[in-house]
């Protein structure tokens, strides 16, 4: 159970990543130090930040820039020509992939003052039988900016690999093999990515109103 903490822990995982492909990584002193920090963070806070993750700063900046570029488009530009080239059937239960405009997301009955792009791991029809049916569908990537899809897929791929390596450290923290969460048990991860834009707001009659 999480206990009181004053800030979310920040963990340098570079030593873990340096040994993440070594079957004997659990014997490395540097890895053990990282594993101990992961264990403490998960038990006491439930969250943690990482540094030393190896994802290029240049790519992160590109992702930030192209996301701002998308949200700066007009609504008509954001919604036209979304990439729907796949023949996969969109789920009737979980078809909220792609652009979501201001007010479409509802929290406690109140429309949220933000817009977003939602994308998830793409699951083909019948891939996981009836269990996976609610998650079936393809991502609706915007075609403008032109390299939005390729850049985001590169970034998401690196984040997925990073998560897998962090889970190796968490598996060690739980006393198992570093590969406990791979293979048949958990080797096919599901991921979610949500890019959110918060437009400027003004106060009108005591209520926040989205800037048009």
208 φ, ψ to 5°? -75, 130
Q: Is 47 exposed, middle or buried (0-12, 13-18, 19+ CB in 10 A)?
A: exposed
pLDDT at 83: 54
pLDDT at 210: 47
Q: Is 204 exposed, middle or buried (0-12, 13-18, 19+ CB in 10 A)?
A: exposed
pLDDT at 89: 38
Integer Cα distance of 163 and 40 in angstroms = 18
pLDDT at 88: 35
pLDDT at 81: 58
Integer Cα distance of 200 and 192 in angstroms = 26
> From the first residue on, what is the mean pLDDT of each consecutive set of 10 residues in the chain (212 residues)?
76 97 95 97 94 97 96 88 46 66 88 91 87 85 92 96 96 95 82 90 48 44
Using an 8 Å Cβ cutoff, are 171 and 179 in contact?
Answer: yes
pLDDT at 98: 87
């Amino acid at each position: 159970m999480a206990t009181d903490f004053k800030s979310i822990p920040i963990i340098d995982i570079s030593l873990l990543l340096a040994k993440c492909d070594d079957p004997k990584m659990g014997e490395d002193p540097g890895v053990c130090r990282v594993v101990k920090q992961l264990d403490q963070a998960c038990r006491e806070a439930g969250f943690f930040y990482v540094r030393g993750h190896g994802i290029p700063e240049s790519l992160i900046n590109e992702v930030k820039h192209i996301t701002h570029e998308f949200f700066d488009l007009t609504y008509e530009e954001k919604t036209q020509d979304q990439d729907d080239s796949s023949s996969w059937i969109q789920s009737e239960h979980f078809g909220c992939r792609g652009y979501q405009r201001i007010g479409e997301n509802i929290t406690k009955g109140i429309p949220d003052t933000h817009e977003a792009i939602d994308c998830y791991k793409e699951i083909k029809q019948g891939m996981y039988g009836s269990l996976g049916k609610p998650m079936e569908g393809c991502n609706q990537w915007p075609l403008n900016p032109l390299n939005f899809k390729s850049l985001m897929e590169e970034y998401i791929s690196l984040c997925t690999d990073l998560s897998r390596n962090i889970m190796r450290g968490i598996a060690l923290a739980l006393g198992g093999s570093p590969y406990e969460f791979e293979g048949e048990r958990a080797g096919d991860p599901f991921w979610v990515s949500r890019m959110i834009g918060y437009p400027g707001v003004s106060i009108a009659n005591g209520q926040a109103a989205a800037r048009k």
